[in-house]
Amino acid sequence: AQRVTQPEKLLSVFKGAPVELKCNYSYSGSPELFWYVQYSRQRLQLLLRHISRESIKGFTADLNKGETSFHLKKPFAQEEDSAMYYCALRTGNQFYFGTGTSLTVIP
């Protein structure tokens, strides 16, 4: 069963424009959600987690239990934000990842 859905495989925005990467999840329990990012030629790394309610590199993500969503947002995209972004759901000891969204920020 698809637990994490990222509907956009590719997303392009212009520098300075707002960006939103969508993530929806399916889980009956209390979810723990994360965003991971993979920059070109780098390893996957944690960007942010919902329990921290933090802003990292200008990105924020709010857990909406009613809509079962955890969309990643940034008000002004930068060229260095170009990367592959994965939404992940932790259930117990396992992490389930979405199919990823490749973000390109056009100069």
Residues that bind other proteins (CB under 8 A): 6, 9, 32, 34, 36, 43-46, 49, 51-52, 86, 88, 90, 93-100
Confirm if 21 and 34 have CB atoms less than 8 A apart. no
Provide the minimum distance between the beta carbon of 65 and other proteins in the complex, in angstroms, as a whole number: 18
Provide the minimum distance between the beta carbon of 14 and other proteins in the complex, in angstroms, as a whole number: 25
> Please, where are the H alpha helices in the chain?
none
The candidate with the shortest Cα–Cα distance to 47, out of 26, 19, 67, 17, is 19
Instruction: Pick the closer one to other proteins by CB: 4 or 13.
Output: 4
The candidate with the shortest Cα–Cα distance to 8, out of 84, 107, 88, 89, is 84
Instruction: Pick the closer one to other proteins by CB: 61 or 88.
Output: 88
Provide the minimum distance between the beta carbon of 99 and other proteins in the complex, in angstroms, as a whole number: 4
